[in-house]
Amino acid sequence: MDNIIEYGKLLNKPFCDLIIEKAKPKLVTADVVGPEKEFRVAQNCWLDETEVPELRDLKEWIAGTTSTPIENQEHGNVVKYDVGGKYELHFDYFDANIPLQAEEFKFGGNRVWSFLVYLNDDFEGGNTFFPEYDLNVVPEMGKGVLWRNTQDGKLLENSIHAGVPVTKGTKWIYITWIREGKYETETT
């Protein structure tokens, strides 16, 4: 189970609330890399430390915990799941054999790690399910979850996971992905 680690009470309520408030005016319909658009029912937006300077400390903690440079992290993604919101079984890594996903490698290589934080817990449903480990992570406000997607370039198929549908209320998460190399949103 070393590939999935839970960190209880990593963030406090005021910090979680701040992230949610900063994200609200920026939300758009969430997308996926590929044709399976119905797999994900949510809204999301990107946030970085220029908009929320307090995120810098979290990003430094993630870098230290994963032993990766902070510049390998993608911008944080805030996701809102209303009732019925979900993300069906999927991988966070990119598969070089799928053309649309192969394009992502130019932005810093593959996603080695995923780091998710639950920003609230006043909802029902919405667990994060890892079927290969028979693990259902129960959301708790401020809890962080870290898992590996690749190791030494190998795709870890046991990293498949899902955001179980929300049955009551609204679920908010913050997630970032850590690349093999420096994350760059633009290439020359």
Question: Residue 36: is its pLDDT beyond 80?
Answer: no
DSSP 62-107: HHHHHTS-GGGBPPEEEEEE-TT-EEEEE-SS--TTSHHHHGGGGG
Average pLDDT over residues 114-124: 98
Question: Residue 35: is its pLDDT beyond 60?
Answer: yes
Q: How far apart are CA 25 and CA 43, in angstroms?
A: 11
More confident residue, 11 or 37: 11
Q: What percent of the chain has pLDDT over 90?
A: 88
Q: How far apart are CA 6 and CA 25, in angstroms?
A: 30
Please answer whether residues 147 and 5 qualify as being in contact, where contact means their C-beta atoms are separated by less than 8 angstroms.
yes
Range scoring the smallest mean pLDDT among 1-15, 77-91, 107-121, 128-142:
1-15
Average pLDDT over residues 73-78: 97
Question: Residue 90: is its pLDDT beyond 90?
Answer: yes
Instruction: Write down the pTM of the prediction.
Output: 0.94
User: What's the mean pLDDT when you consider all of the chain?
Assistant: 94
When pLDDT is cut at 50, 70 and 90, the band that residue 2 belongs to is low
Q: pLDDT for 130-180, tens place per residue?
A: 999 999 999 999 999 999 999 999 999 999 999 999 999 999 999 999 999
Q: How far apart are CA 99 and CA 11, in angstroms?
A: 37
Structure confidence at residue 3 (pLDDT): 81
Structure confidence at residue 28 (pLDDT): 97
Q: How far apart are CA 125 and CA 147, in angstroms?
A: 21
Structure confidence at residue 105 (pLDDT): 94
Cβ neighbours around 12 below 10 Å, total: 11
Cβ neighbours around 154 below 10 Å, total: 8
C-alpha dihedral over 120, 123, 129, 133, to 10 degrees?
A: 80
Domain 4-179 coded CATH 3.90.1150.10: no
